[in-house]
Amino acid sequence: MEQSAELPTTVFEQFAHGDLDAFESLFRQFQGEVYRWTVRIVRDHGIAEDLTVETFWRIHRAHARFDPKRSFGAWARRIATNTALDYLKRSRRETELPEDMAATALPDPGIQQDVRERVGKAFRRLPAKLRIATTLALIEEEPYQEIAEALGISVGAVKLRVFRAVRLLRKQLKQLGVEP
């Protein structure tokens, strides 16, 4: 989500000064990318649509804090991540893990479904900050640097959150009778 060569720097400057036409132009240019980023975090297309609208509402309200010399895409990703994090904290509605996440198929489909449900349950118990970092790093395979920029933390902090999440998942899975 980097600044597009199609948009002159003046659009970013105009947006920073509150120009509504510039905001509309940026909305048209970046809405798809913000949506795709958000759906990676919340794992639900309908919720991601709502959160994309909320993200752009926040972007519009924060226009004066935007530095036109910096990447609008990175700034929008950061706001989208915070919006999704707020949603996850507020709703406690956890998302399901993808069906194809299991590395090896178990011989008995009943056992496989039970294990998948236990893994999903353990994953949903993770704190929202750990779940976002882990989802983006391990499921979506986003680069740590991009995750760090979106979360507003260092790469080391992203790695630490993923490490802590994996450690918590192992502990929870053991309690649920699943040996990782």
65-75 pLDDT per residue, tens? 999 999 999 99
C-alpha span between 130 and 164 (Å, rounded): 7
pLDDT at 96 over 70: no
20 CB burial (10 A radius; 0-12, 13-18, 19+): exposed
Fold classification of 9-91 is: Rna Polymerase Sigma Factor; Chain: A (1.10.1740)
pLDDT at 2 over 70: no
Tokens read off for 108: 């008995």
pLDDT at 12 over 70: yes
Question: In 3-state terms, what secondary structure has residue 64?
Answer: helix
Amino acid in the structure at residue 124: R
Tokens read off for 11: 């659009």
Return the sign of the alpha-carbon dihedral for residues 99, 48, 91, 164. positive
Position with higher pLDDT, 142 vs 176: 142
Residue with token string 């809405």: 31
pLDDT at residue 104, as a whole number: 47
Position with higher pLDDT, 49 vs 1: 49
Q: Which CATH class is domain 99-175?
A: mainly alpha
Stretch(es) of the chain classified as CATH 1.10.10.10 = 99-175
Tokens read off for 143: 């680069």
CA distances to 39, 62, 79, 117, 147 from 152, rounded to whole Å, are: 19, 16, 10, 32, 8
pLDDT at residue 34, as a whole number: 95
pLDDT, one tens digit per residue, over 104-133 is: 444 566 667 777 787 888 888 889 899 999
C-alpha span between 87 and 47 (Å, rounded): 9
Range in 5-9, 74-78, 83-87, 165-169 the model is least confident about: 5-9
| Residue 29 and residue 11 in contact, taking contact as beta carbons nearer than 8 Å | no
pLDDT, one tens digit per residue, over 31-64 is: 999 999 999 998 899 999 999 999 999 999 999 9
C-alpha span between 94 and 97 (Å, rounded): 10
pLDDT, one tens digit per residue, over 128-155 is: 899 999 889 988 888 999 999 988 899 9
Which residue, among 38, 35, 83, has the nearest Cα to 59 in the 3D structure?
83
Stretch(es) of the chain classified as CATH 1.10.1740.10 = 9-91
Position with higher pLDDT, 3 vs 87: 87
pLDDT at residue 144, as a whole number: 92
**What DSSP state is assigned to residue 152?**
T
